[in-house]
């Protein structure tokens, strides 16, 4: 390429007109995905609309355009990869619009109650009978917080990415990705002189969204403020009762929903917002019966919230309560038949026994798995212990022990760092392609101090439980040498510490395709396999699993053939560890192949068990 051609490429500008076709407009979640994609090109990319030109890599800037359905804008790409950026972003945007389905309004079923009712807009179905409690925010300040404002922002971004990764099987996970991209924008790259300057910036961004179609996104900015301040020791938390209650709140932030889930919440009444807000989406995801009622609501010792009909009865009669309870029972029975049978054994129509295990991240998710009917733990992600600061052996041991006590069998995945996951206290060399670099067992074998401490903690915890079998699973193993070295390290530690290994077995996450071609050799070494379907798919198709535009059909014949080849080539215990097992179309294929152990998120277990009973 001569100089003239290079100069031409650098100065190439391509304009394309795109139209918003989604009924929801071009809102925060698709904007975040679009921004993430636009960052990949060596080009200056902007959007032009309403006489404004804004950067395509800045979420707040695009939000400020307030692009509604039928609005058009110009995608302008300039630079070396202008043509490539234009072509790919045009397709990407159109796919975003096509896939951004309108949130369906809940069709309310008319119900006649004797007492006076307040009507509301239904957010999430269900019926609650409990006292009314008004939301109160308490501020708690820790002294001598060690974090700086920049550290607090970075830690919040990591937490949001982690929430997204852990929940991405759910539609609501896109909220965490959107908030992470919002916080990653240049708006928050300033060297803030103090916390007040950061707060002022949040207020400015919120002010710009006032009286626009995206006014509900103000809550996301306020939520980010609270999450960042939390890492500075400034906690703003809901004061919530220990008894069953219906919460009335002028507004709730998305992060509040996780707090509500830790309490005996029965229902929620929002006094602002709409059914498309991120808070509303998370309320639906959490299955908390909810209404929007903007008028004043008095306290009540026993109220009825009927989100199926849109009614709130503050002073119900005995007949009203009786009717609501009957409706509540019928509703729960229709939804939770599978939940009621969650502790029963799981057999297919042909009588084949299937174990359904849980993928967990910490003690709370372990308890949820126990209550959901998990037959054991198929994947304990240990990264939660290492995310903020380096844990001691004693801290790790105590955490593992609490989880080991709950189940008869627990599979512990050793630290899986690398790729898109890092540790704030342990710098890693920058890699051009981290998903193909120092990740999983490769990281552990390089950072052996951390690895040895984790293995020791697992062993010490296993010594304290009599009836729990522990499976230690090494991630991202690609050859037998890695497994041999990792297991040798563990055995040496356990011999030195006189830890009995009769209840401990060693296996690998089967997620690197090279293992498929060496299964006979691995069979002589490992005690078990667990197929990491997400990463195996990623490496089979060379498509990053978090890629916003490139997707793989989870029922691809290629993937199914690989899974069939794996199970037909080994006699060792093997499980599917990933959300593939919860995918309805995949389930029958997996069971037909002969897979008898599946591991999924705790929330999916009751329904998955019931589906298995009909296969």
d(CA 453, CA 487): 14
Whether 554 has a pLDDT exceeding 90, the answer reads no
Q: What is the CA radius of gyration of the chain?
A: 26
CB 86 within 8 A of CB 268: no
* 312's tokens: 């709130």
* 158's tokens: 């990591």
pLDDT tens for each residue of 17-76: 999 988 788 888 888 889 988 988 989 999 999 889 999 998 888 888 888 888 999 999
User: For the whole model, what pTM was predicted?
Assistant: 0.55
Tell me which of 388 and 382 has the higher pLDDT. Answer: 382
- The three-state secondary structure class of 166 is helix
pLDDT tens for each residue of 478-517: 999 999 999 999 999 999 999 999 999 999 999 999 999 9
Find, among 579, 483, 472, 603, the residue nearest to 531 by Cα. 579
| pLDDT for position 33 | 84
| pLDDT for position 180 | 86
- State mean pLDDT over 338-350: 86
Q: Which of 86-100, 293-307, 390-404 is least confident?
A: 86-100
| pLDDT for position 215 | 76
Whether 562 has a pLDDT exceeding 90, the answer reads yes
Q: Which of 280-294, 521-535, 585-599 is least confident?
A: 280-294
- State mean pLDDT over 131-152: 83
Percent of the chain clearing pLDDT 90 (strictly above): 46
Tell me which of 287 and 413 has the higher pLDDT. Answer: 413
pLDDT tens for each residue of 524-547: 999 999 999 888 988 999 987 655
Tell me which of 12 and 298 has the higher pLDDT. Answer: 298
CATH number for 355-612 (one of 1.20.1250.20, 3.30.565.10, 3.20.20.60, 1.10.3720.10): it is 3.20.20.60
Burial class (CB in 10 A: 0-12, 13-18, 19+), 345: exposed
| pLDDT for position 220 | 85
Q: What distances in angstroms separate CA 80 from CA 35, 75, 89, 506, 586, one per listed residue?
A: 19, 16, 15, 50, 42
Tell me which of 362 and 276 has the higher pLDDT. Answer: 362
Whether 5 has a pLDDT exceeding 80, the answer reads no
CB 590 within 8 A of CB 598: yes
Find the Cα–Cα–Cα–Cα dihedral 478, 481, 487, 488, rounded to 10°: -160
- 306 confidence band (pLDDT: 50, 70, 90): very high
Tell me which of 321 and 221 has the higher pLDDT. Answer: 321
Residue by residue, DSSP assigns 386-419 as: TSSSPPPHHHHHHHHHHHHTT-SEEEEEPP--BT
What fold does the segment set 118-136+239-340 form as a domain? Glucose Oxidase; domain 1 (3.50.30)
d(CA 494, CA 503): 12
d(CA 392, CA 369): 26
Q: How many helices (H) and strands (E) does the chain have?
A: 21, 23
Tell me which of 613 and 281 has the higher pLDDT. Answer: 613
pLDDT tens for each residue of 439-454: 899 999 998 999 999 9
Tell me which of 285 and 247 has the higher pLDDT. Answer: 247
| pLDDT for position 336 | 66
d(CA 603, CA 87): 40
Give the residue numbers annotated as catalytic, written as ranges.
278, 577
Vertex 450, ends 447 and 454: CA angle to 5°? 135
Q: Pairing between strand 137-141 and 234-238?
A: antiparallel
- 422 confidence band (pLDDT: 50, 70, 90): low
Averaged pLDDT of the chain: 87
* 3's tokens: 């100089």
Contacts of 139 (CB under 8 A, 6+ apart): 234, 235, 236
Whether 548 has a pLDDT exceeding 60, the answer reads no
In this structure, whether the domain defined by 3-99 belongs to CATH 3.40.50.620 is answered with no
CB 530 within 8 A of CB 378: yes
| pLDDT for position 615 | 87
d(CA 141, CA 236): 9
Whether 471 has a pLDDT exceeding 60, the answer reads yes
d(CA 512, CA 419): 14
Find, among 434, 453, 337, the residue nearest to 395 by Cα. 453
- State mean pLDDT over 221-248: 88
| pLDDT for position 274 | 79
| pLDDT for position 167 | 63
- 3 confidence band (pLDDT: 50, 70, 90): very low
**Strand order from edge to edge, sheet including 132-134:** 121-124, 290-292, 265-270, 245-249, 132-134
Q: What ranges do the domains of the chain cover?
A: 3-99, 118-136+239-340, 138-237, 355-612
SS (H, E, C) 596-611: CEEEEEHHHHHHHHHH
CB 476 within 8 A of CB 513: no
Domain 3-99 identical in fold to domain 118-136+239-340? no
| pLDDT for position 4 | 45
The helix (run of H) or strand (run of E) holding residue 483 is: helix 480-496
pLDDT tens for each residue of 93-129: 988 887 776 666 676 888 899 999 999 999 888 999 9
- State mean pLDDT over 335-351: 83
The highest-confidence range among 89-103, 356-370, 392-406, by mean pLDDT, is: 392-406
């Amino acid at each position: 390429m001569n100089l003239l051609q290079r100069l031409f490429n650098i100065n190439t500008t391509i304009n394309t007109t795109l139209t918003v076709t989604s009924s929801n407009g071009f809102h925060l979640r698709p904007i975040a995905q679009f921004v993430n994609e636009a960052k990949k090109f060596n080009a200056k990319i902007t959007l032009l609309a309403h006489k404004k030109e804004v950067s395509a890599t800045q979420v707040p800037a695009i939000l400020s355009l307030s692009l509604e359905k039928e609005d058009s804008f110009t995608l302008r790409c300039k630079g070396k990869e202008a043509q490539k950026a234009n072509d790919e972003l045009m397709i990407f945007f159109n796919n975003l619009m096509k896939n951004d389905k309108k949130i369906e309004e809940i069709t309310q079923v008319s119900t006649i109650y004797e007492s006076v009712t307040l009507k509301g807009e239904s957010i999430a179905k269900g019926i609650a009978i409990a006292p009314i409690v008004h939301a109160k925010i308490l501020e708690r300040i820790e002294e001598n917080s060690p974090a700086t404002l920049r550290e607090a922002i970075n830690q919040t971004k990591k937490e949001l990415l982690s929430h997204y990764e852990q929940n991405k099987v759910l539609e609501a996970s896109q909220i965490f990705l959107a908030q992470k991209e919002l916080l990653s924008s240049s708006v928050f790259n300033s060297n803030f002189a103090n916390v007040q300057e950061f707060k002022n910036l949040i207020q400015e961004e919120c002010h710009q969204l006032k009286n626009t179609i995206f006014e509900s996104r103000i809550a996301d900015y306020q939520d980010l403020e609270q999450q960042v301040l939390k890492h500075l020791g400034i906690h703003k938390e809901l004061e919530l009762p220990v008894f069953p209650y219906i919460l009335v709140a002028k507004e709730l932030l998305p992060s509040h929903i996780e707090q509500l889930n830790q309490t005996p919440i029965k229902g929620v009444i929002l006094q602002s917002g709409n059914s498309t807000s991120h808070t509303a989406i998370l309320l639906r995801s959490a299955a908390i019966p909810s209404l929007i009622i903007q008028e004043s609501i008095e306290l009540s010792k026993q109220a009825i919230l009927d989100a199926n009909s849109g009614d709130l009865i503050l002073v119900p009669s005995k007949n009203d309560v009786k009717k609501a309870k009957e409706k509540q029972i019928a509703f729960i029975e229709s939804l939770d038949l599978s939940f009621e049978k969650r502790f029963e054994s799981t057999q297919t129509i042909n009588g084949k026994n299937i174990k359904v295990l849980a993928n967990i991240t910490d003690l709370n998710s372990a308890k949820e798995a126990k209550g959901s009917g998990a037959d054991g733990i198929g994947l304990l992600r240990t990264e939660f212990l290492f995310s903020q600061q380096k844990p001691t052996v004693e801290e790790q041991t105590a955490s593992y022990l609490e989880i080991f006590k709950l189940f008869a069998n627990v599979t512990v995945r050793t630290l899986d760092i690398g790729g898109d996951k890092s540790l704030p206290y342990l710098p890693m060399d920058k890699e051009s392609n981290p998903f193909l670099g120092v990740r999983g067992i490769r990281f552990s074998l390089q950072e052996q101090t951390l690895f040895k401490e984790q293995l020791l903690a697992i062993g010490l915890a296993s010594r304290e439980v009599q009836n729990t079998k522990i499976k230690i699973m090494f991630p991202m193993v690609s050859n037998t040498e890695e497994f041999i070295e990792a297991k040798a390290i563990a055995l040496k530690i356990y011999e030195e510490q006189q830890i009995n290994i009769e209840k401990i077995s060693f296996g690998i996450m089967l997620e690197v395709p090279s293992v498929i071609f060496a299964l006979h050799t691995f069979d002589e070494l490992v005690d078990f396999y667990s197929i990491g379907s997400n990463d195996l798919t990623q490496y089979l198709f060379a498509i990053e699993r978090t890629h916003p535009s490139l997707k793989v059909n989870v029922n691809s014949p290629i993937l199914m053939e690989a899974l069939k080849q794996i199970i037909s080539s080994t006699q060792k215990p093997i499980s599917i560890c990933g959300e593939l097992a919860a995918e309805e179309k995949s389930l029958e294929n997996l069971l037909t192949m002969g897979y008898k152990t599946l591991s999924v998120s705790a929330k999916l277990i009751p329904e998955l068990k019931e589906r298995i009973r009909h296969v």
